[in-house]
Structure 1
């Protein structure tokens, strides 16, 4: 039994009364004093409890002002978190944007300032286990028939949790390969521009229409598997250099726009985060890309490669010990059955048999003061959008492209948790005309 000042007082009172044979009047007086002290103790306890308990939040119903929430980008198998208020179904907004400045060293007249992208998203918690997500992107400030800007639906899907560890998703969603597809907001990566491996080899942001199931285990293993639309090789344009400069998959992705669906694709991704500060993962995506099309209205006027299959895989790791942020990624893709196709494309841009890229990156939180953080970084990349080509008849042989090497060095200056200023210099080994200075402003909410 725990001894308290009150119990000691009571014991002393009764011992004293027994020793001195106190009168009834004295006992009653002592009881009155003890009762008064007890009430004082109770009052003090109520005061302490009131100070320790925060005031109850003021909530509103969905019919008046929806509760504001900030969605958390979900890694493979993770659920985006939303807050509910008094059982209401909240609708929340999120978004991000980038304004960039690019100044080439060798041709300063080609300096550009660009509203690279502005994204707005809506998340609606339809029920305790079901949410609806829409994300819409505006690129290059102006979109019209004569401008290079675009307006596109980046995501549009419904997600339902079967339980705390497993969920289902259907609609237009991002494919969980690489590190940038699921987390590509400006504060999520170093440098003004997204790295070349995760743009030219792994498309970013890469979305498909389909169904997926995902989850997470108690050991920190996140998994995500799905059946989706895939690439359309009929979109390859031999008169365009896009397949080499932007990447082969960027030239044939469908983005959920009247996507051909005869040939479906499958993917699987794993991500382990069982040790604090360490994330290791990888994934694979594969599917046929001909869709049995032999239509003169297609870009290649009837080109048909019935066995063509696109396969892409990656492996990546990130480690954040102390103030360091270390990352590495390798990705490799292939397009099969392209020999006859490239014969028909002779004289134009051929379709590669394989393409690859990798990078290593190191950043360090050099200075931090309140809401300000300065993190210098350096990144080394190698990538090749045409590493090998299928065997061709004599006289039509295709030489592989040279592997580009890029060194990027700069810093991110973070202002609070939602704004970042960026600066870096990029040096290229093969195409030195691309050497440049980049400045950027980014935000997210």
Structure 2
């Protein structure tokens, strides 16, 4: 069409009288130019539909999953309440809502790069089955840390801490299967020649029934308690330190997975909710082999480890997930509200709670053979994340508290060891400041560095000790953490980390738990 129009202009005006051969040569040139323009247009369309790896083609959304599923209804929608995979894709580690994303720059002279995020099988290939998606995340840690058991001696170490597979399958557009299969500490082998000492376990396993936006049902399965933020969003690209934030290393026993069922939905554009019923946590932290056939703790006269104590908080109190081995009939309830106010771009936060009417396991007793009564557990958490628009500044903060109705019935207060006693409550808080620095294009991708500092305070041994143990708090449960370092994102799906941490407590010897660690994490 362009060639015909141009030829008409040239011939009808008589301004360029030429013979037939000249017109034919001009026609060929114009036709060649038209084909070149069409080729460039096609290339631009190809660029738009296949963005560079690590760069989104669309604005990010809090309900978008980082895993693509080839189904009519995306399983990402089913993960709304608990799955960290719903978090902003391409955010380069920023957990707060983003105000805008930079568009991908067209590169007309280069072939399109593969868009890993568009591939549902490990970010690499298309799914052979419609509706099937398999993602993965993992982290490797190394460095040097003080060992309190060796009088604070610095010791080097390495840990292939975890590798997690994330299968999702849209059985129908409204029935979604999800699971997480985790391998920790390099595997589950125990042979001397294997040099392994890890675990293989199911971290999540459930089926969602999508009904309406306001109300959906998650069938009974293994799920994450909706309290705090990082318990549900604990992939290594979601936080900047090598280890998870300190509040989630016991006070919130991340990864806090339980047998559970829940309902969830969207109340307004700014507000989402989840309500869960679950098997209660148990005040039993000993080996599985120490449970009796009657599903009780060891018989009186046999000591056993506490599940709740003033040194490890709730870290060992999570309920068992298999073989009807629960030591408690109590049912706990948990709930969470997530808010992303449209009037405050870049801000996101949540409030959540948990209540168990009784954490005392069957047959619980003190070291003298006296049976222990019930003790309830109530928890509250509030947290926020704020990425200041049009700047690199990001702020985070959190407060969490656990209260016990009858601490005199907790095993830690009745085990003839006063160093791990538990008071009426435990609490902790943290504040963090981060700054996102754009490093430009390296290896065909945009890199970002995030230096950070986080202060955390925890008190796991408050007043109100009671039981058979002496009420002599040691101060070891009252700790301050100064954590600083940086996270380097070559891609939103990969992070390199370095962290230094200084720990202070009120014990006689001191914490002796400082560390300098490096880490590599991925999530795709």
Q: TM-score range by the shorter chain?
A: 0.7 to 0.9
Quick one: distance in 1 between partners of 2:277 and 2:265?
16
Residues 1:76 and 2:81 aligned together: yes
Residues 1:346 and 2:402 aligned together: no
Greater mean deviation of Cα atoms: 91-100 or 382-391: 382-391
Alignment TM-score, normalising by the size of structure 2: 0.66
Report the counterpart of residue 312 of structure 1 in structure 2. 379
User: Pick from 330, 345, 356: which aligns with 1:263?
Assistant: 330
Alignment TM-score, normalising by the size of structure 1: 0.77
- Equivalent residue of 2:243, what SS? coil
Quick one: distance in 2 between partners of 1:155 and 1:397?
40
Report the counterpart of residue 104 of structure 1 in structure 2. 145
Quick one: distance in 2 between partners of 1:300 and 1:248?
20
Residues 1:441 and 2:511 aligned together: no
For structure 1, the residue ranges without an aligned partner over 5 or more in a row are: 1-42, 58-65
Report the counterpart of residue 116 of structure 1 in structure 2. 161
Structure 1 residues 256 and 444, CA, compared in 2 at 3 Å: closer, same or farther?
same
Report the counterpart of residue 256 of structure 2 in structure 1. 206
Residues 1:355 and 2:355 aligned together: no
- The Cα of 1:102 is off from its aligned counterpart by 3.0
- The Cα of 1:224 is off from its aligned counterpart by 0.5
For structure 2, the residue ranges without an aligned partner over 5 or more in a row are: 1-33, 50-68, 87-117, 121-125, 288-302
- The Cα of 1:388 is off from its aligned counterpart by 3.2
* Equivalent residue runs for 1:362-377 within 5 Å: 362-370=433-441, 371-377=446-452
Larger Rg: 1
Quick one: distance in 1 between partners of 2:83 and 2:145?
40
Report the counterpart of residue 399 of structure 1 in structure 2. 473
Deviation digits for residues 52-83 of structure 1, max 9, x if unmatched? 9779x9xxxxxxxx949995894538897799
Asked if 2 retains the 8 angstrom alpha-carbon contact of 1:419 and 1:442, the reply is yes
- Equivalent residue of 1:408, what SS? strand
Quick one: distance in 2 between partners of 1:274 and 1:196?
27
Residues 1:163 and 2:212 aligned together: yes
- Equivalent residue of 1:192, what SS? coil
* Equivalent residue runs for 1:273-312 within 5 Å: 273-275=340-342, 276-290=345-359, 293-294=362-363, 304-312=371-379
Structure 1 residues 267 and 301, CA, compared in 2 at 3 Å: closer, same or farther?
farther
Report the counterpart of residue 497 of structure 2 in structure 1. 422
Structure 1 residues 167 and 350, CA, compared in 2 at 3 Å: closer, same or farther?
same
- Equivalent residue of 1:281, what SS? strand
Quick one: distance in 2 between partners of 1:83 and 1:130?
22
Deviation digits for residues 164-219 of structure 1, max 9, x if unmatched? 33211121111111111111111100110111111221111111112100011233
- Equivalent residue of 1:179, what SS? coil
Greater mean deviation of Cα atoms: 332-341 or 231-240: 231-240
Report the counterpart of residue 225 of structure 1 in structure 2. 275
Quick one: distance in 1 between partners of 2:520 and 2:77?
21
Quick one: distance in 1 between partners of 2:169 and 2:336?
26
- Aligned positions, number: 393
